Structure formats: C-alpha cells, structure tokens
Amino acid sequence: MATLCYEDIWFNNFRARNTLRLVTFGSPRVIGAKNFKSIEHRFNRTTLYANGSDIVTCVPPVIFGFRHVRNLTRIGNKLNVIGLFKPKKYHHIDGYITSLREVHE
C-alpha cells in the first residue's frame, strides 16, 4: 500500500516530488515490469527492507510480470526456502524490529 500511495502522491502532487521519501518493510512487488521503465525515476528516493525469508517480499512472482521498485535491502537471516513458510517470524513487525536491532548493534 505504501508504494502505491507514494506513486499516487508523486503523480498527482508536483510540489511534493522533491521532498517525498519512501521506506517500506516487507512490501510485495506492486509495479508491473511492462510499465516500469517509464516510471523508474520516480522511485530514486526509496528504501525497501526485507527480513530474512519474508514471503511477502517474494509475491507476486516475477514470472507474473511484477518487480520491486528498487533493490531490496536484506536484514536478518539470509533468504531460504524453509523460512518462507514462517511468516509470523519474518513478516511480523516484531521480526523486523529484532532484525533492525541486530543491524545497529
């Protein structure tokens, strides 16, 4: 939702473009690859965090034509297939808080 709201504000509010920032935690892919080249410059001021094996950051699959607006910054454990089946551990806000604390220690 945050990525789509960012896009809406950027598109509809010319004055906000220079100050607009986006930081997401565990966001899915929401921009279609077909249109991405035409809007890629809009997302220069974005940071996307993905916690370990957060399955939400892997959907919808790339094969369906979606992609992230920027490269993900991985925090916490490395991505592994078994971890994808532990959404409470990786996608829940507590998991992100724990991983962010580990990054800053």
Mean pLDDT of 63-92: 88
**What letter does residue 50 receive in the DSSP assignment?**
E
pLDDT of residue 35: 80
Mean pLDDT of 45-58: 92
Number of structural domains found in the chain: 1
pLDDT of residue 26: 95
pLDDT of residue 102: 85
Structure tokens at 98: 């724990």
**Distance in angstroms (rounded) separating the CA atoms of residues 95 and 74:** 13
pLDDT in tens, 4-39: 999 999 999 999 999 999 999 999 999 888 888 888
Which runs of consecutive H residues, i.e. helices, occur in the chain?
Answer: 2-12, 33-39, 87-90, 93-104
Mean pLDDT of 38-66: 91
Which domain CATH number covers 11? 3.40.50.1820
- Expressed as residue numbers, the domain containing 40 is 2-104
